Structure 1
């Protein structure tokens, strides 16, 4: 088992290892922790396995997945290590829990969104969808990483029009970049800053449930 990350797992109340469940890997922002993501994901726990992952680097009163040289410029070694470690963690936990391999989702905010977008671009069909809130895709990921998103990948990108840390243009650029590679991209600019608004919260929950239900229905059709 991968020991690089501290994480907590929540399973639905009717969890049965004879079934398969969609899963959400929830990744926090810089200076936050996995408990913030568990609180954010709580309404989805009835239908999804939730895995909230703590970044491995102490950052103030919280944690981070990587440090930065400047905005948009992560420390490459730390970034690469977290990407590799998260890939392994997703693989390990998918073998340990009753996770549907066709319905693996990643939700991230800020640094977590950066990780979510990167992982979805390099993990192929291992990831069904992501919710990336208020992040960016590092240039070295676009230029040097092996980009191969899954053919069925679904992407929900959101960005506040008053974000004082990452300007709205970054969110627009994220959406445009994914549209170059896949067809199922939802982009939601919203009135607000670098935080999750109540309206955005409702929107991404609805999107996740709908996408997971569609994926489950597709699988049933294939197996009929």
Structure 2
């Protein structure tokens, strides 16, 4: 997978897995990593799927309707890539925190839904529920921040609340942060994510 890796000088720090939104690139979320913890490793990945020339992490059938078969395959592909990257760059595979926006937040949530040890935690900006009707792994040692917009036309408030409930029911410690905005990623939301990350 096309990516950028930036090595930290502090081996105790996590590796931030940066996952862009539809039409983004591996450059997009680098400022978020800098704002949240400038001393962490950074592994920023570009989605392998193209939708009318726009990079994505998995296919969709329509706005808000995921291609579930492709989602499962791409989630597996990303999880295996993390195994390979950890070996290649010698970072701790058990200390990865995803930072995703929109489509990238969805694939990050899907990692947690399908693989118990894929991520240590996640900062999910405007995610949706990746799959319904499946049993989640035990996430009792995971921490998750969800940034949501009260007027988000793509990801409804109910969707954000459903995802929070599903993760909490699997044992995760979840903080749901609301902005009185739409689907855009706001400075206030990034600041809230940084405060959440640094308080633990």
Structure 1 pair 172–150 and aligned structure 2 pair: CA distance change class (3 A): closer
Q: Is there any run of 5+ residues in structure 1 with no aligned partner, and where?
A: 212-224
Does 2:185 match 1:196?
yes
Deviation of the 1:34 alpha carbon: 1.2
User: What is residue 10 of structure 1 aligned with on the other side?
Assistant: 6
**1:87-146, CA deviations, whole angstroms, 9 ceiling, x for partnerless residues?**
0011111222342344211111111111111111222134210111112113xx3324x6
Does 2:37 match 1:48?
no
In the alignment, which of 180, 185, 189 is matched to residue 174 of structure 2? 185
SS of 1:100's equivalent in the other structure is: coil
Report the RMSD for the aligned CA atoms in angstroms: 2.0
Deviation of the 1:158 alpha carbon: 1.5
Does 2:132 match 1:142?
yes
Q: Is the 8 A contact 2:36 2:193 kept in 1?
A: no
How far apart, in 2, do the equivalents of 1:56 and 1:101 lie? 22
Q: Is there any run of 5+ residues in structure 2 with no aligned partner, and where?
A: none
Superposition TM-score, scaled by structure 2 size: 0.90
Structure 1 pair 21–100 and aligned structure 2 pair: CA distance change class (3 A): farther
How far apart, in 2, do the equivalents of 1:101 and 1:88 lie? 11
Does 2:76 match 1:84?
yes
How far apart, in 1, do the equivalents of 2:7 and 2:36 lie? 10
**1:199-220, CA deviations, whole angstroms, 9 ceiling, x for partnerless residues?**
1111112222334xxxxxxxxx
**Structure ranking higher in helix proportion:** 1
Q: Is the 8 A contact 1:28 1:111 kept in 2?
A: yes
Does 2:52 match 1:63?
no
Q: Is the 8 A contact 1:109 1:135 kept in 2?
A: yes
User: What is residue 144 of structure 2 aligned with on the other side?
Assistant: 155
User: What is residue 221 of structure 1 aligned with on the other side?
Assistant: none
Runs of 4+ more than 6 Å apart: none
Structure 1 pair 92–149 and aligned structure 2 pair: CA distance change class (3 A): farther
Superposition TM-score, scaled by structure 1 size: 0.81
Structure 1 pair 31–127 and aligned structure 2 pair: CA distance change class (3 A): same
Aligned residues: 200
